[in-house]
Amino acid sequence: MDDFVNKEFVQSINSADSLLQKELIILHSEEGLLQQRLHLMKEFVNDLPSSDPQYNMIQTAIQMDQIELDELSIRKATLLHKFGTT
Protein backbone atom coordinates (compact mmCIF):
# COMPACT_ATOMS: atom_id res chain seq x y z
CA MET A 1 0.00 0.00 0.00
CA ASP A 2 1.18 3.50 -0.66
CA ASP A 3 1.32 6.20 2.01
CA PHE A 4 -1.98 7.81 1.00
CA VAL A 5 -3.88 4.52 1.19
CA ASN A 6 -2.23 3.69 4.53
CA LYS A 7 -3.15 7.09 5.95
CA GLU A 8 -6.72 6.83 4.70
CA PHE A 9 -7.00 3.31 6.12
CA VAL A 10 -5.84 4.44 9.56
CA GLN A 11 -7.92 7.62 9.57
CA SER A 12 -11.08 5.67 8.83
CA ILE A 13 -10.81 4.03 12.26
CA ASN A 14 -13.13 5.87 14.60
CA SER A 15 -14.16 3.26 17.17
CA ALA A 16 -13.11 0.01 18.78
CA ASP A 17 -15.45 -1.88 16.45
CA SER A 18 -13.91 -0.17 13.45
CA LEU A 19 -10.43 -1.09 14.67
CA LEU A 20 -11.45 -4.73 15.09
CA GLN A 21 -12.96 -4.75 11.60
CA LYS A 22 -9.76 -3.32 10.10
CA GLU A 23 -7.64 -5.86 11.93
CA LEU A 24 -9.88 -8.66 10.65
CA ILE A 25 -9.45 -7.35 7.09
CA ILE A 26 -5.67 -7.38 7.50
CA LEU A 27 -5.67 -10.86 9.06
CA HIS A 28 -7.83 -12.17 6.24
CA SER A 29 -5.42 -10.73 3.66
CA GLU A 30 -2.38 -12.18 5.45
CA GLU A 31 -4.11 -15.54 5.71
CA GLY A 32 -4.85 -15.58 1.98
CA LEU A 33 -1.26 -14.73 1.07
CA LEU A 34 0.11 -17.33 3.45
CA GLN A 35 -2.22 -20.01 2.08
CA GLN A 36 -1.09 -19.17 -1.44
CA ARG A 37 2.57 -19.34 -0.39
CA LEU A 38 2.00 -22.71 1.29
CA HIS A 39 0.28 -24.05 -1.80
CA LEU A 40 3.14 -22.96 -4.05
CA MET A 41 5.82 -24.36 -1.75
CA LYS A 42 4.02 -27.69 -1.46
CA GLU A 43 3.79 -27.93 -5.24
CA PHE A 44 7.48 -27.09 -5.57
CA VAL A 45 8.64 -29.54 -2.92
CA ASN A 46 6.65 -32.34 -4.55
CA ASP A 47 8.86 -31.96 -7.63
CA LEU A 48 12.08 -32.24 -5.63
CA PRO A 49 13.76 -35.48 -4.70
CA SER A 50 14.14 -35.89 -0.95
CA SER A 51 17.91 -35.98 -1.45
CA ASP A 52 17.91 -32.38 -2.72
CA PRO A 53 19.38 -29.99 -0.09
CA GLN A 54 16.48 -27.58 -0.64
CA TYR A 55 13.94 -30.28 0.20
CA ASN A 56 14.47 -30.10 3.97
CA MET A 57 14.66 -26.29 3.95
CA ILE A 58 11.35 -26.02 2.13
CA GLN A 59 9.72 -28.66 4.33
CA THR A 60 10.80 -26.64 7.38
CA ALA A 61 9.48 -23.42 5.81
CA ILE A 62 6.16 -25.16 5.12
CA GLN A 63 5.93 -26.25 8.77
CA MET A 64 6.76 -22.73 9.98
CA ASP A 65 4.20 -21.17 7.64
CA GLN A 66 1.59 -23.67 8.81
CA ILE A 67 2.27 -22.63 12.41
CA GLU A 68 1.91 -18.98 11.40
CA LEU A 69 -1.35 -19.78 9.59
CA ASP A 70 -2.65 -21.54 12.71
CA GLU A 71 -1.71 -18.51 14.81
CA LEU A 72 -3.52 -16.20 12.39
CA SER A 73 -6.60 -18.40 12.58
CA ILE A 74 -6.53 -18.31 16.38
CA ARG A 75 -6.08 -14.53 16.35
CA LYS A 76 -8.96 -14.17 13.89
CA ALA A 77 -11.22 -16.39 16.03
CA THR A 78 -10.31 -14.35 19.11
CA LEU A 79 -11.12 -11.08 17.35
CA LEU A 80 -14.39 -12.45 16.00
CA HIS A 81 -15.31 -13.51 19.53
CA LYS A 82 -14.44 -10.03 20.87
CA PHE A 83 -16.31 -8.38 18.02
CA GLY A 84 -19.36 -10.49 18.80
CA THR A 85 -19.30 -9.49 22.46
CA THR A 86 -18.74 -5.74 22.05
Residue 72 is predicted with a pLDDT of 95
User: Residue 86 pLDDT more than 70?
Assistant: no
Is residue 2 domain-resident? no
Give the model's pLDDT for residue 21. Answer: 84
Torsion angles phi and psi, residue 47, rounded to 5: -85, -5
- Please state the pTM of the whole predicted model: 0.76
Looking at residue 2, what is its pLDDT?
75
Our count of domains for the chain comes to 1
- Is 39 among the domain residues? yes
Lowest mean pLDDT among 8-17, 50-59, 63-72: 8-17
The span from the CA of 63 to the CA of 57, in Å, is 10
Residue 6 inside a domain? The answer is no
The two most distant CA atoms of the chain are separated, in Å, by 55
Give the structural domain span for 22: 16-85
Residue 15 has what DSSP assignment? S
Looking from the CA of 51 toward its CB, the CA atoms found within 13 Å total 0
Decide if 62 is inside a domain.
yes
CA distance 3 to 14: 19
